[in-house]
Amino acid sequence: MLRSVLGLSTRERLLVAEAAVLLVGVGTAVRVVAYTRVRALLGSLPAPLLGSDTAREDVGWAVDAADRATPGDRSCLVRALVAEAMLERRGHETVLRFGVDDAGADMEAHAWLESNDEIIVGGENREEYSRLEASG
């Protein structure tokens, strides 16, 4: 692990560090704070000092790398919320998607994040879920 971190550029290390801090924080917050409050808190984060030109794919990579490197098992929702916060802080538009799979005995839910019609995080097994559409 240390060797792979040492091989990263400073920009990549900062991106992974940001993702790691947010993963731990959001992972804790979704357990103790209402979902709407978590979204509001993430939406109030200031723009990053560095990396405002970060590509969407780089944020997805950083969230995945940080998730693998930090202890704990985070849900797809936590990963999607972190990627959403990181991208929106950098001026990218995002869409947080939810889907359900009710084919088995229990209904399962999944969250993923899209930006510019590309899946940023949560694309694995997404085809198994029927996307929920927003109403209103």
| Per-residue confidence band for 47, with pLDDT thresholds at 50, 70 and 90 | confident
Evaluated on CA atoms 36, 85, 25, 30, the torsion sign reads positive
Asked if the structure places residue 19 within a domain, the reply is: yes
Please report which helix (H) or strand (E) contains residue 97, including its range: strand 95-101
15 occurs within a structural domain: yes
Q: What is the DSSP string of 37-58?
A: HHHHHHHTPPPPSS-TT--HHH
Task: Specify the pLDDT at position 136.
Answer: 47
136 domain-assigned: no
Report pLDDT for 4: 64
Q: What is the mean pLDDT of residues 19-27?
A: 96
Q: Is 88 within the bounds of a domain?
A: yes
Range of the domain at 112: 2-131
Q: Cβ neighbours of residue 2 under 8 Å, at least 6 residues apart?
A: none
Residue 114 forms part of a structural domain: yes
Q: How many CB atoms lie within 10 A of CB 47?
A: 10
How high is the mean pLDDT of the chain?
A: 88
Specify if 73 maps to a domain.
yes
**Global pTM?**
0.89
Q: How many domains would you assign to the chain? A: 1
pLDDT digits (tens, 9 = 90+) for 101-130: 877 778 889 999 999 999 999 998 888 888
Residue 5: what pLDDT? 61
